[in-house]
Amino acid sequence: MRLYWTAWSMLFLGGPLAMAQNNADLLERMKAMEDRIQALESELAQLKGAPAPVQAGQAPAATPAPAPVAPQSAGVLGGAGAGASKILNPDVSVIGDFLGTVGNSGPVQTPSLEMHESEVGLQAILDPYARADFFISFGEQGVNLEEGYLTFPSLPGKFELKVGKMRAAFGSVNALHNHVLPWADRPLVTNNLVGGEDGINDAGFSLSRVFAGPGGLFLEGTAQLFRGDSSTVFKTYKHDDVSTVEHLRAYRDLSESTNLNLGFSYSRGHSPVAETLINQLYGFDATIRWKPLRRSIYHSFVGRTELIWDHNEESRPAAFGYYASGDYQFARRWFFGGRFDRSERFFSYNPLDQTVVLNPPIATQPLFQDTGGSLILTYWPSEFSQIRAQLRRTAYEQSITANELLFQFMFSIGAHGAHPF
Amino acid sequence: MLTKAVRCFSVVLLIANACLGASKLNVVTATEDLAALGQEIGGDHVNIESIARGYQDPHFVEPKPSFLLKLQKADMLALVGLELEIGWLPPLITQSGNSKIQVGANGYVDMSRYCQVMEVPTGAVTRAMGDVHPLGNPHYWLDPENGRRIARAFKDKFSEMRPADAPFFASKLADFEKRLTEAEKGWDAKMAPYHGAKIVTYHRSFPNFCERFKINVELYVEPKPGIPPTPSHTLDVINSMKRENIKVILVEPYFDMRTPNSIAQQTGGIALVLPPSVGGVKEIKTYFDLFDYDINLISTALAKYK
């Protein structure tokens, strides 16, 4: 009897409850479908390149944040167009560097007008573990792979590994591409002791790691191993004639607007002069930057210096050189700067064709010393182009003084990735 | 014996509390607006820091190494996207060596994917158009509706990363949405008398804001996005403002005021520094403060010239 009444109670009371439950479920499902239609409409609008249609008064509050990739719906037929595969192409950029020189250029002859460099950049994320960057430099005479390397940014232990051909982390200027230099040329010390424009640039490995030092100090250690061929700096004679570069960087924010960067570098490899000679380079660099955040697009100052010693295991003293420069941005598009250079050198210039002559390392062989100074004015028509004039005076050792006006037009097309600070 | 047990239990509680504290999510955001919204949802269960300050131009942030130390220990990186940070964030991400926040990783969250974006170019895009954003205008956080969407995205992401705290994040979101809905009524009421008002802005920073509050941006001080004002364009702006009787110019805090002030002087109008971001001025500490401040400023100015 109790069972009988229970069954009837369930039938009469449970029925409406179940119906109510069904209605609630139905409403819930309809709401979910409505949300899904809205999400699909939004996706369709985005694919068409129009803003997502969000109706006035609509309450998307009820919809959860859409997943970045919407699930394939039965209502969507076919995939993306053939052109969609092009989105996997790398970012492509070309940076043109047109350079002109007027005046007496001394022993280092430079063309009066030249398309100094056209740098093609190809950059992309390779896979979930690595990215690839290629910078191919076209000159008027030939092509050079300036850099081409793989970067593994997320190795265990927060190490970063680069594999390929790259500019070495020696000092501050060596690692910079032409288009990010604050001058139209490179400092004398770079030309005399660190291989000039090509610099220490070789194939190998680079391992670096960022550390937090005491008191908010930023530290970065980099160790690089290269084949051992770098311009006039290092040469490899056999397989194990590798060169190495070590760099320790310390950085600190002095205030919100000002920061100081110090670097210590060491590099070692076989000298191009003789197989038995080992070239050792020691470097110290310091950069102070000031950029008030509220007016960062209008005013800034960067002061730089770099001191380099080149010792080649002979009894004669190391060659020494340095530069000090300052660049002040006095308006949104205008920069004014100056640079002082002084550097010794082992090599001499051939008076006939101005080519570099590597002198044998004889203790009695004197070191040449050059001294120079530049004033630089830079104008940016936009973020993507700049016009620069540089008045340069250089007193070379052999009583030759060069007075030149360099002018440069630099322009960038395409998507060129930002460079590290 | 009981005292000893209570002491032991207290120690266990302290350790557990310390462990919970240590398990807070470390979140780094590109801008202070995202940090403010993330803080609304994460509360004291997250440590959240912004890279860019609200009073600096978010297009031109220096990728300082000190930011790397923050990114190195981040569980999540929230960015505005649409290439707003293209000039400074990518090298920081790569150099951080943090696998959690690399592009495509679970901790890399591009908030533009959850928001309504305006000014998405539909035709050819060239740099003859200035420093145009080919993916759409990235200043989308200035619509409260997008703020709501970002908050929801934070809630979903936080809950996914800390499932045990999901109810907490859900309650914070519900509270945020309730307060936002309430605040919107006040903002709408304040702006209602000025629907259709015409204004000038320096840069294209306010399309979402103006669309939401029904103000019409007629002209820009910049001739094209990212291009500084030229004399001829400035003259055009002055003439158009006189012809259309436009009196209010909105300027972001990081732009020079000389040209806008000069235009305002010649048209009998006013140039207002309108912060587009939390932290733009010291009074703006939250997402709500941002709209309170901006709407108060605009409505007062428009009332003066109505």
Chain A residues close to B103, C-beta within 8 Å: 125
Q: Is B139 on the interface with A (CB under 8 A)?
A: no
How many other CB atoms are found less than 10 A from the CB of residue A274? 15
Q: Is B43 on the interface with A (CB under 8 A)?
A: no
Residue of A nearest to B157 (CA): A65
Q: Compute the distance between CA of residue A405 and CA of residue A100 in angstroms, rounded to an integer.
A: 8
Which segment of A369-378, B12-21, B187-196 scores lowest on mean pLDDT? B12-21
How many other CB atoms are found less than 10 A from the CB of residue B208? 24
The β-bridge partners of A337 are A327, A376
Q: What is the pLDDT of residue A419?
A: 78
Taking alpha carbons only, the member of B94, B14, B69, B78 closest to residue B41 is B78
Angle between helices B144-161 and B166-191 (to 10 degrees): 180
Q: Is the pLDDT of residue A18 over 70?
A: no
ipTM: 0.84
Q: Is B211 on the interface with A (CB under 8 A)?
A: no
Instruction: Say whether B62 and A151 touch across the interface (CB within 8 A).
Output: no
Higher pLDDT, A87 or A299: A299
What percent of chain B is modeled with pLDDT above 70?
Answer: 93
Task: Tokens for A396, please give them.
Answer: 């070379």
Instruction: Say whether A131 and B94 touch across the interface (CB within 8 A).
Output: yes
Q: Compute the distance between CA of residue A20 and CA of residue B4 in angstroms, rounded to an integer.
A: 56
Name the band, by pLDDT with cuts 50, 70 and 90, for residue A116: very high
Distances in whole angstroms, Cα of residue A84 to Cα of each of A89, A124, A182, A331: 10, 16, 39, 42
Q: Nearest CB to B148: which of A61, A151, A383?
A: A61
Q: Which of residues 290-329 of A touch B (CB under 8 A)?
A: 291, 293-298
Instruction: Say whether A297 and B65 touch across the interface (CB within 8 A).
Output: no
Question: Residue A225 is inside which H or E element, if any?
Answer: strand A218-226
Q: Nearest CB to B131: which of A151, A295, A383?
A: A383
Task: Tokens for A308, please give them.
Answer: 């380099």
3-state secondary structure of B48: strand
Distances in whole angstroms, Cα of residue B190 to Cα of each of A340, B67, B246, B298, B305: 60, 39, 20, 10, 15
Instruction: Say whether A297 and B63 touch across the interface (CB within 8 A).
Output: no
Q: Work out the widest C-alpha separation in chain B, in whole angstroms.
A: 89
Q: Is the pLDDT of residue A7 over 50?
A: no
Let me know: does B213 contact B197? Beta carbons within 8 Å.
Answer: no
Q: Which of residues 353-382 of A touch B (CB under 8 A)?
A: 382
Question: Residue B76 is inside which H or E element, if any?
Answer: strand B76-79
Q: What is the pLDDT of residue A307?
A: 98
Q: Is B49 on the interface with A (CB under 8 A)?
A: no
Q: Is the pLDDT of residue A50 over 70?
A: no
Chain A residues close to B108, C-beta within 8 Å: none
Q: Is A411 on the interface with B (CB under 8 A)?
A: no
Q: Compute the distance between CA of residue B74 and CA of residue A211 in angstroms, rounded to an integer.
A: 15
Q: What is the pLDDT of residue A361?
A: 58
What is the mean predicted confidence (pLDDT) over A302-324?
A: 89
Q: Which of residues 17-36 of B touch A (CB under 8 A)?
A: none
Q: Is B103 on the interface with A (CB under 8 A)?
A: yes
Q: Is the pLDDT of residue B37 over 90?
A: yes
Q: Compute the distance between CA of residue A122 and CA of residue A131 in angstroms, rounded to an integer.
A: 11
Name the band, by pLDDT with cuts 50, 70 and 90, for residue A9: very low
Q: What is the pLDDT of residue A40?
A: 67
Q: Is the pLDDT of residue A52 over 50?
A: no
- DSSP assignment of A358-377 equals -----TTSPPEEEEEEEEEE
Q: Compute the distance between CA of residue A91 and CA of residue A114 in angstroms, rounded to an integer.
A: 27
Chain B residues close to A49, C-beta within 8 Å: 120-122
User: Is B11 buried (19+), middle (13-18) or exposed (0-12) by CB count in 10 A?
Assistant: exposed
- DSSP assignment of A2-66 equals HHHHHHHHIIIIIHHHHHHHHHHHHHHHHHHHHHHHHHHHHHHHHHTTS-----TT--GGGSPPP
Q: What is the mean pLDDT of chain B?
A: 91
Name the band, by pLDDT with cuts 50, 70 and 90, for residue A35: low
Phi, psi of A213 (to 5 degrees): -90, -175
Q: Compute the distance between CA of residue B42 and CA of residue B156 in angstroms, rounded to an integer.
A: 11
Q: What's the DSSP call for residue B227?
A: B
Q: Is the pLDDT of residue A53 over 60?
A: no
Question: Residue A205 is inside which H or E element, if any?
Answer: strand A201-212
Q: What is the mean pLDDT of chain A?
A: 83
How near does any CA of chain B get to the CA of A227, in Å?
A: 24
Q: What is the pLDDT of residue A68?
A: 46
Distances in whole angstroms, Cα of residue A76 to Cα of each of A68, A265, A367, B122: 17, 58, 75, 22
Chain A residues close to B50, C-beta within 8 Å: none
Residue of B nearest to A132 (CA): B94
Which segment of A30-39, A227-236, A283-292, A344-353 scores lowest on mean pLDDT? A30-39
Residue of A nearest to B119 (CA): A51
Name the band, by pLDDT with cuts 50, 70 and 90, for residue A75: low
Instruction: Say whether B94 and A153 touch across the interface (CB within 8 A).
Output: yes
Q: What is the pLDDT of residue A51?
A: 41
Let me know: does B110 contact B90? Beta carbons within 8 Å.
Answer: no
Q: What's the DSSP call for residue B143?
A: S
Name the band, by pLDDT with cuts 50, 70 and 90, for residue B122: confident
Q: Nearest CB to A297: which of B60, B93, B177?
A: B60
Q: What is the pLDDT of residue A4?
A: 45
Taking alpha carbons only, the member of A42, A68, A40, A72 closest to residue A55 is A42
Q: Compute the distance between CA of residue A387 and CA of residue A56 in angstroms, rounded to an integer.
A: 49
Q: What is the pLDDT of residue B125?
A: 83
Q: Is B131 on the interface with A (CB under 8 A)?
A: yes
Which segment of B70-79, B120-129, B173-182 scores lowest on mean pLDDT? B120-129
First-to-last C-alpha distance (Å) of chain B: 79
How many other CB atoms are found less than 10 A from the CB of residue A394? 21
Instruction: Say whether A421 and B64 touch across the interface (CB within 8 A).
Output: yes
Q: Is B149 on the interface with A (CB under 8 A)?
A: yes
Chain B residues close to A383, C-beta within 8 Å: 131, 226
Q: Is the pLDDT of residue B117 over 70?
A: yes
Taking alpha carbons only, the member of B293, B283, B288, B277 closest to residue B52 is B277
How near does any CA of chain B get to the CA of A20, in Å?
A: 27
Higher pLDDT, B270 or A361: B270
First-to-last C-alpha distance (Å) of chain A: 86
Instruction: Say whether B68 and A125 touch across the interface (CB within 8 A).
Output: no
Distances in whole angstroms, Cα of residue A267 to Cα of each of A41, A78, A279: 60, 57, 8
Q: Is the pLDDT of residue A221 over 80?
A: yes
How near does any CA of chain A get to the CA of B2, in Å?
A: 45
3-state secondary structure of A283: strand
Q: Which of residues 130-149 of A touch B (CB under 8 A)?
A: 131
Taking alpha carbons only, the member of A191, A204, A223, A198 closest to residue A165 is A204
Q: Work out the widest C-alpha separation in chain A, in whole angstroms.
A: 125
The β-bridge partners of A114 are A99
What is the mean predicted confidence (pLDDT) over B84-88?
A: 92
Q: Compute the distance between CA of residue A388 and CA of residue A379 in angstroms, rounded to an integer.
A: 6
Q: Is the pLDDT of residue A12 over 70?
A: no
Let me know: does A220 contact A210? Beta carbons within 8 Å.
Answer: yes
Q: What is the pLDDT of residue A20?
A: 46
Q: Is the pLDDT of residue A17 over 50?
A: no
Phi, psi of B215 (to 5 degrees): -110, 145
Q: Is the pLDDT of residue A70 over 90?
A: no
Please provide the size of chain A in residues: 421
Name the band, by pLDDT with cuts 50, 70 and 90, for residue A61: very low
pLDDT digits (tens, 9 = 90+) for A258-302: 999 999 999 999 998 888 889 999 999 999 999 999 888 999 999
Let me know: does A202 contact A242? Beta carbons within 8 Å.
Answer: no
Phi, psi of B198 (to 5 degrees): -100, 135
How near does any CA of chain A get to the CA of B161, in Å?
A: 15
How near does any CA of chain A get to the CA of B229, in Å?
A: 11
Instruction: Say whether B91 and A65 touch across the interface (CB within 8 A).
Output: no
Cα within 13 Å of Cα(B39), Cβ side: 16
Q: What is the pLDDT of residue A64?
A: 42
Residues B16/B18/B21/B26 CA torsion (nearest 10 deg): -120
Chain B residues close to A66, C-beta within 8 Å: 113-114
Taking alpha carbons only, the member of A202, A182, A222, A172 closest to residue A322 is A172
Instruction: Say whether B118 and A66 touch across the interface (CB within 8 A).
Output: no
Q: Nearest CB to B65: which of A52, A251, A415?
A: A251
Task: Tokens for A243, please give them.
Answer: 């060169």
Let me know: does A334 contact A378? Beta carbons within 8 Å.
Answer: yes
Instruction: Say whether B99 and A160 touch across the interface (CB within 8 A).
Output: no
Let me know: does B203 contact B252? Beta carbons within 8 Å.
Answer: yes
Q: Nearest CB to B98: which of A66, A158, A253?
A: A158
Residue of B nearest to A43 (CA): B113
What is the mean predicted confidence (pLDDT) over A128-136?
A: 94
How near does any CA of chain B get to the CA of A412, in Å?
A: 11
Most A-contacting residue of B61, B69, B84 (CB-CB within 10 A), to test interface: B69
- DSSP assignment of A78-103 equals S---GGGGGGGSPEEEEEEEEEEEEE
